[in-house]
Structure 1
Amino acid sequence: MPHHAQDNLTAMQAKELAQYLAFAPIAFQAARSLLRLGILEALDAAGKQGCDVAALAQQTGVDEYGVQVLLDMGMSSRLVIFDGSLYRLAKTGYFLLHDDMTRVNMAFTDDVCYRAMEHLDDAIRDGRPAGLSELGDWPTIYPALAALPEPARTSWFEFDHFYSDRAFPELLKQIFGDNAPQHIVDVGANTGRWASQCLKHDASVQMTLVDLPQQLQLAGASMVQQGFAQRVSLHPANMLEPDVRLPRSGDLWWMSQFLDCFSPEQVLHILRAAHAAMPDDARLYILELFWDRQQHAAASYSLNATSLYFTCLANGNSRFYRSDELLRLVHEAGFVLLSEEDDVGLGHTLFRLAKAPATVA
């Protein structure tokens, strides 16, 4: 039975977990302070020998009171261990320091989401990204990405790129195999990161990048800087416009971590628009993260938490979908599923689709 279909905690375990949730914001900020103030780093350097409060205060420049209260909360959060006189770094504390995924996730939560989540009730009630006001005055986050204040801008892009980048090497091998595409239409191209990988991998492939004008300015500048301008076309488009105009070319259409940015009704509109524009023999590849396709409970937890970022900050009506929800929309838009592959990169799923029924016997 999958982890999300079980409730196998004892009453005492459930009550204990409830207390961890009740104080979770405090524990999170204590962990961030332990990192930012260099306390965990000092414990890491001390190794198995450990360190007392006085030595840590001297090394970090934090007074003993501050070191003590943070370490005690860190002990309760299992970041450090304490033997009665000395503190040592625990395994969880080690991963806070050294694991890139944890670092990126924590920075995204703190710099982008933390204060915005105070507005979650309003976002849920009103169907709008009420928490975005903590970062600026925009209707949604997408046209604002290039203008987000620091450190939110850096943390947003590092979070986004961390997960997509891990899938790129495997995807490039699959896509540029025996039937390598000649022309890729990248819908939701963002800053052109995937496009640049394709252009580097195959010296003959042509790319058309489709996105909002603000995003394509960044992508276009990147393509010029990398020397790819001759093989790239920019196609500004708001995919939510009723009569959105899309390219009528391309043998492979690509949507990566894109459809999760829209409501089900909007996803269906986007897929129908792509279906109408694509050549009959073209293929559509969709790369997404689905909480129900994850091997580990922590991965599903992370995706469902990130869905609330979409609710509160991004646009108020999108999320990481359950895979059968998206497949229903895919079929309703007129596509058929040719193949699917889970566990691409860090938990992505790749759907390969064709237009129905023209390319299906």
Structure 2
Amino acid sequence: MLNKKFSPEKQSAFAARFEAQKIAFGPVVFQCIRYAWKRGMLQALADAGSEGISLENLVTTEKWSRYALKLVLETCLSAGIVYLREGHYVLDKTGYCVLTDSITQININFTHDVCYQGLFLLEQSLDEEKPLGLTHLGPWTTIYEGLSTLPEPAKTSWFDFDHFYSDTSFPSIMPDVFATAPRRVMDIGANTGKFSYAALSYNQETELHLVDLPVQLKVAEENLNAQGFRERAHFHPTNLLDTTATLPENMDLIWMSQFLSCFSESAISSILERTAKALVPNGQLLIMDTFWDRQQYDIASYCLINTSPYFTTMASGNSKIYESTDYIRLAEAAGLKLLTARDGIGYCHSLLRFAKVA
């Protein structure tokens, strides 16, 4: 486990108080910076180059009122997005990140379009362990029931967020998946079928068994059938929150990617117990997930830790981004033994390999 340190060891009381004010006004700063990006202010400063541009010249473009420019750019100034040079606003390095960095933009869109309104109910959601903020998007018990019918722009922002963190990992893990030459592979939490498509394309002899909620599995089935995998892809609509729901058995290998973080510890325990029963003797379980304790850099741990409130208020009410030790502890209790752990996959993933204890 990596020991993360997010602030200097020696911080003055004055500096600490300034950091506290950044927290107090965080939502205000977020909205102003998002406005500056979405409405083209940051691009205008980038186009002006290192010399910057004056407020008066920005006003003459008639894209924004003087009031809007002055208010938003002053907030950007306070946040280090821009700086002033001889009366001209100049885009700073952090501003360039907002303007050009894809993961920053994906995170901003996800926070705004999916989470922002619902997070107002975080306190109640934590108390009741229910995703009470989800009502801002739809009438579902969990967000997973409504993913395919989320309103826009939340739907696009959710899938952009999910796929960015997962798709960068799939190409490099196929040798791991097929290291033991499995013939029957189960993809639990198949979502839109992206992993199953990659696995079926990689190995021509493997059968994939996809498990997910009916509404999600319908999308995966349509995608895989369109790619010509109708014969080797098998679909098992299942609500794994139902502890009586069983899994197809005699699996050589079971795959889970960014799946268990959707559930509480008690639900994870139940799922892992059923997973162990579904494996053949000495069969293996591969779990790929984003563990905040296994990141090389604080920036990745920071992003992951602060994704957890989304799970509380929007997704399920009682799940989060876990530490790897949580999964290992729960898997061992279910009769699974950790064989290997590999970090540095894709953007921020780790791969835990378990074997069924004979």
> Per the shorter chain, which TM-score range?
over 0.9
Which structure 2 residues correspond to residues 1-361 of structure 1 after superposition, within 5 A?
2-3=4-5, 7-59=9-61, 61-177=63-179, 179-356=180-357, 358=358
Paired amino acid for 1:302 = C
Deviations 1:195-226 (A, max 9, x none): 11112222332211001111101111111122
Paired amino acid for 1:235 = H
Q: Is the 8 A contact 2:251 2:278 kept in 1?
A: no
Offset, 1:67:
1.2
Offset, 1:5:
9.5
Deviations 1:251-293 (A, max 9, x none): 2100110000000000000000111121113210001111111
CA distance, structure 2, for counterparts of residue 280 and residue 59 of structure 1: 70
RMSD across aligned positions (CA):
1.5
SS in 1 for 2:281: coil
Deviations 1:52-101 (A, max 9, x none): 12322344611122112111111111111111311111111101011110
Closer/same/farther in 2, CA of residues 256 and 79 from structure 1, 3 Å limit: same
Percent of aligned pairs with the same amino acid: 41
Deviations 1:142-187 (A, max 9, x none): 111111111011100110000001111211233245x433222000
CA distance, structure 1, for counterparts of residue 88 and residue 8 of structure 2: 39
Paired amino acid for 2:155 = R
Which moved further from structure 2: 150-159 or 218-227? Answer: 218-227
CA distance, structure 2, for counterparts of residue 2 and residue 114 of structure 1: 27
CA distance, structure 1, for counterparts of residue 335 and residue 178 of structure 2: 26
SS in 1 for 2:242: coil
Closer/same/farther in 2, CA of residues 273 and 8 from structure 1, 3 Å limit: farther
CA distance, structure 2, for counterparts of residue 132 and residue 218 of structure 1: 22
SS in 1 for 2:282: coil
CA distance, structure 1, for counterparts of residue 102 and residue 236 of structure 2: 34
Paired amino acid for 1:218 = V
Q: Is the 8 A contact 2:177 2:286 kept in 1?
A: no
Deviations 1:298-357 (A, max 9, x none): 22221121111001111100011122122110100100001011121122111000011x
CA distance, structure 2, for counterparts of residue 209 and residue 5 of structure 1: 43
- Unaligned 5+ segments in structure 2 are none
Closer/same/farther in 2, CA of residues 36 and 6 from structure 1, 3 Å limit: closer
Paired amino acid for 2:125 = A
Q: Is the 8 A contact 1:207 1:232 kept in 2?
A: yes
Offset, 1:16:
0.8
Which moved further from structure 2: 277-286 or 53-62? Answer: 53-62
Using structure 2 for the length normalisation, give the TM-score.
Answer: 0.96
Offset, 1:6:
7.3
SS in 1 for 2:340: strand
CA distance, structure 2, for counterparts of residue 112 and residue 151 of structure 1: 8
CA distance, structure 1, for counterparts of residue 6 and residue 49 of structure 2: 38
CA distance, structure 2, for counterparts of residue 147 and residue 293 of structure 1: 34
SS in 2 for 1:273: helix
Which moved further from structure 2: 275-284 or 105-114? Answer: 275-284
Using structure 1 for the length normalisation, give the TM-score.
Answer: 0.95
CA distance, structure 2, for counterparts of residue 174 and residue 105 of structure 1: 29
Offset, 1:7:
4.9
Q: Is the 8 A contact 1:337 1:354 kept in 2?
A: yes
Q: Which has the higher contact order (CA 8 A, sep 6+)?
A: 2
Closer/same/farther in 2, CA of residues 180 and 44 from structure 1, 3 Å limit: farther
Paired amino acid for 2:338 = L
